[in-house]
Amino acid sequence: MKTESRTSAQAILWPTKAGYSFASIGLSAIELMLQVYLLELYILAGLEPSMAGLAIALAVVWDAISDPLMGILSDKTPSSTTEGKRVPYLVAGAAIIGFAFYFLFSPPTSSGQTALFNNLLIWYLVVNTAMTLFSVPHLSVVNDLSGSEQERATFFGWRIVAGSVGLLLGIGLPAYLAFQIDSSSISDTLDLRRTTGFALGSLATGGCLISGFAIWQALKTKGKLKPSNPTGSYRSLEVLKQSIKSPFFLLLVLGFVAIAIGRSFNSSLALPYYKTTLKLNEEQIGIILLTLTLFIIVAAPLWVHFSKKFGKAPLFFGAVMSLALLSAIVYPILPAGMLWPVLLLAGTGGILVASIVLLESLFSDLVEEEKTRTAKDVSGVYYGIWRMLSKVARALGIACSGLFLSLVGYEQGSLTQAPSIERSIAWAFGPGVAIFLTIGGWCIFKTRHYYRKGS
């Protein structure tokens, strides 16, 4: 990797980075709502589960396809002297996402299957499109703004912290509103979800607008808002062919996908593990998630700081292998019904999980290297591919967990499981996840041959 430099006078100040990260608060909160509550919401509203699953699947497929398309579009959009070429997409995404999320979480009551299916499909497509409009340019602009690897790392550090705050809101706000709104009936539950959708949709729009304004101000201040150069255009297939030829890109992507599958597999098995194997209740699980999130928030800046001395790839390898070893050994032997050992593990795991900021920063370094090598703006298409792969990996992780639970005979809707099933879940949640983490960590470690520390 090539050495980059930026004088202290040119360095981007922390308020800009904090403003940039504001969008991640609302976006992380609504992503959590989409993963946890959306399917249940429409089933409660009366939609057949198979129809709800079909609508969600169609929207997710479009979501994955649209990411690289949005990246190509944002790269090739000409910029003017008053607005950066990615800023209009940030504004458009911010303007759409709030009301679209509200309507998605407001299924029509007393409606037939067709009306419910159409409402779910149409508004989920709109929400995903709005998130793509915003998120891909939002990631890409880091490379537009930053002139050094360390500076890009701090951007992603702020983003991880803000995203963790969003997860706290996504967990805490529905719980808080449940105390304020009676949810003893289906209609009450629908009202609760509608109120939550309005609150988090408004938060997402506000956060995205703040982030977009911070980005616009930073671009304007640094004189980046210049008309685009037509010679900087590219053909997306050429970029893909060049990427496949890069060992650094292939190892980084393979490592990222393996780790993302492991994280998704872990998340999907979390509730069955905590509830059936460890016999913990909803309140205790909430405390565990809160502890994990708080330690991620605290640890993310520390990983960025220590990467200056130890290098990103070796440091991330040490973190992910420690997490794999810890998961493989401890999760299968945790005693049932005891909270404090799980909290201790959640705190340690949160510190190690926060190292993911180094992986995202490594990818941003690759994007910057490709921009320098090709003399073309390829940030959008690379980040679009990155987001697409993350969604494919998440889907694979969920599919693996569902297949595993079916194979071991897990009984849906039952509060108790056979002892053999409980042990199987513990081994999958621990050593099973550790396999994916180990594969991913090894791939990332191999990138050190193509990445010069301190460059």
Confidence band for 4, pLDDT divided at 50, 70 and 90 = very low
Confidence of residue 40 (pLDDT cuts 50, 70, 90): low
The domains found in the chain, sorted by start residue, are 15-228 (1.20.1250.20), 230-455 (1.20.1250.20)
DSSP calls for 105-169: T-PPTT--HHHHHHHHHHHHHHHHHHHHHHHHHHHHHHHHH--SHHHHHHHHHHHHHHHHHHHHH
Model confidence at 186, in pLDDT bands (50, 70, 90)? low
Q: What is the rounded distance in angstroms from the CA atom of residue 430 to the CA atom of residue 402? A: 16
Helix (H) or strand (E) holding 181: none
Q: For CA atoms 296, 266, 53, 383, give the dihedral sign.
A: positive
- What is residue 136's DSSP assignment? H
Q: Indicate if the pLDDT at residue 379 is higher than 60.
A: yes
- Mean pLDDT estimate for the chain: 81
Cα-only R_g, the chain: 22
Mean pLDDT throughout 184-206? 82
Is the pLDDT reported for residue 388 higher than 80?
yes
> Mean pLDDT, to the nearest integer, of 156-160?
84
Percent of the chain topping pLDDT 90: 23
Mean per-residue pLDDT, 287-309: 86
Please check the confidence at residue 449 and state whether its pLDDT lies above 80: no
Q: Tell me how far apart the alpha carbons of residues 228 and 267 are, in angstroms, rounded to a whole number.
A: 42
pLDDT in tens, 199-244: 999 999 999 999 999 988 888 776 654 444 444 555 555 666 666 6
Measured distance CA(452)–CA(441) in Å, rounded: 18
Separation of alpha carbons 287 and 285, rounded Å: 5
Q: What DSSP designation does 198 have?
A: H
Flag the least confident range among 108-112, 121-125, 451-455: 451-455
What are the tens digits of pLDDT across the range 242-280?
666 677 778 888 888 899 888 878 877 787 788 788 988
Do 379 and 62 touch, CB atoms closer than 8 A?
no
Q: Which residue has the higher pLDDT, 436 or 43?
A: 436
Tell me the per-residue pLDDT of 307-322, one tens digit each, with 9 for 90 and over: 888 888 889 999 999 9
Q: Supply the pLDDT for residue 337.
A: 87
What does the block give as tokens for 18? 């904090």
Q: Which residues contact 53 (CB under 8 A, 6 or more apart)?
A: 39
Model confidence pLDDT, tens digit, residues 320-349 = 999 999 999 999 999 988 899 999 999 999
Residue-level pLDDT at 284: 80
pTM of the model: 0.72
Question: Cβ distance 145 to 350 under 8 Å?
Answer: no
Helix (H) or strand (E) holding 286: helix 282-310
Written as six digits, the tokens of 73 are 């579009």
> Is pLDDT at 21 greater than 80 in this prediction?
yes
